[in-house]
Amino acid sequence: MRIILSLFMIFSLSAPAVAAKYAFVLANGSYEELEDLQNTHADADAYGAAFEQLGFTVLHHRDLTRNQTIAALDGFLNRLRPGDQAAFVFSGHGWSDGSVNYLVPTDAPKKGSTRLLKRQSVALRNGLSGVLDELEALGVGLTVAVIDACRDNPFKPAQGSRSVGLSRGLARVSPPQGTFVIFSAGEGQQALDRLPDDPPDQRLSVFSRVFVPHLTSGVTLEDAISATQAETARLALEFNGHQQHPAYYDQTLGSTCLKGDCRTTGQNAITAAPDTASGACDALYEEAKSERACFVYDAYAKSCPNHVFHSIARSFMNRNCGGPDPAGQVAAVPRSDIPETIAPLPRTAEPAAPAAEDVHESQETRPDAATQETEAALRLSNAERREIQHRLRLARHDPGGADGVFGPMTRAAITSWQTAKQLHVSGYLNADQLDRLKAGTAAAYAGFLEAQRIRETQRAARKRQTFTAKPAAPVSVAAPAPAPAPVQKAAPARKPKRKLPLRLQRK
């Protein structure tokens, strides 16, 4: 009997632990001082049911104060162990100070200084005590955060105080490794709760009604959010051209499947070959978004009639460029009118990741090591460095600019790209990695060059029109009359000499 029990314990201890899956779902709709929200409870119910369908143990919460939120989060975090999967869903008011995003409890004051509002709110990620920071510290294997709080700033500055510096919507977020963050709208955009033609029984916000069905459809998370982006943007445009383009920030490796074996739609399949036309349209649209020029939007609309953002470009031109063929217009359009991100570029096949035993090799002995020396051996010119920065941006790893200088942001972009491709991570390149970067961005970079060519052609055409414009007819001016000859001043007439009387004349 003892032998049987001993064997049972040995097998129990040696069996691999199955990762637990927990979801924290919080809906704040009834606020004490702030404006109440209509759809948050229904949205949270839909997300709770979706994550239960995906195998998560769901913790439902509604209308929590700050202290209640902290206590509920503590209970959620206490359940998690390293390697577990966590989902965090929040629907309610949110705000940003421009760098950190905050979730608003139901007892938050309506007015106050930035310091007060920060203390009364819950940070999503601040590098220390935010929700995502706590999950990272626990060593969670995968975190999926869905934040539907991209509404107008709910606060008002305190009377007599300076502007508290709050921005509309939420700011970009840099998630930790292994985290997938989804916002219901892009940076500075407002998420819609309803559409004008919604039936009375439609209780979900525009984003949630689109995303929840995709979330449980058996596709990867990347495919689900990509489809949601396009459909949400289309629905929002029907609301007087409203711009709502859901954003996501992905620091997971490969494709993310929340349950079983996910199928791919082809767009994000790792084995899919790059579609040159799609990549060119992606790059052309991003160039139009960056340039904010009507002629670039017109070139995109004509070159990519079937692209996912064609209707957005047409709507943009109708509202800002005076209709089609805006050849010479450069629209001074606010950036909030432009969708924040474009659909992900197709992923290309990559060689297999290094074998597990290579992880323990030193940088010097690894055959694929990329070091400062290997990059120096490439002898990159300034133009080649700018090309690399453009390619990193097209691969969704922002280098901060394309100036040919590999500063901290470019090194961080290289590191991020190396991590995503499961290559040797160092922030420096070698010849093999450079070839992989070029191969993976070939279609997108070709589209970028085409966009550059179109832009330069349009600019040259406008410049020629400026210089060849018909000059105005010269105004005839009568020749000036000759200056009159200088008048000679006559010498004063000499008075005749008076003769003296005879008696006075000398004799």
Q: pLDDT by residue (tens digit) across 221-241? A: 999 999 999 999 988 887 777
Average pLDDT of the chain? 77
Count of Cβ atoms closer than 10 Å to residue 296 Cβ: 24
**Tally of CB atoms within 10 A around 16:** 5
Domains located in the chain, CATH noted? 14-269 (3.40.50.1460), 270-345+448-467 (no CATH), 364-440 (1.10.101)
- Give DSSP secondary structure letters for 458-499: HHHHHHHHHHSSPPPPPPP-PPPPPPPPPPPPPPPPPPPPPP
Pick from 20-34, 233-247, 315-329, 436-450: least confident:
315-329
The 10s digit of each residue's pLDDT in 442-493 is 877 887 887 777 767 767 777 776 665 555 555 555 555 565 655 555 555 5
Q: Which pLDDT score is estimated for 168? A: 57
Pairing state between β 94-96 and 179-183: unpaired
Single pTM value for the model: 0.54
Across the range 396-406, mean pLDDT stands at 83
CA distance 249 to 232: 17
Percent of residues, the chain, with pLDDT higher than 70: 69
Q: How far apart are CA 190 and CA 336, in angstroms?
A: 10
Please name the residues in contact with 281: beta carbons below 8 A apart, sequence gap of 6 or more: 300, 303, 304, 307, 447
- Per the model's pLDDT, the better-predicted residue between 199 and 466 turns out to be 199
pLDDT-derived band of residue 249, with 50, 70 and 90 as boundaries?
very high
Q: Do 321 and 297 meet the contact criterion of CB atoms below 8 Å apart?
A: yes
499 or 118, higher pLDDT: 118
Asked whether the beta carbons of 339 and 245 are under 8 A apart, the reply is yes
pLDDT tier at 495, thresholds 50, 70, 90: low
| Average pLDDT of the residues in 275-284 | 59
User: Beta strand pairing status for 101-103 and 122-123?
Assistant: antiparallel
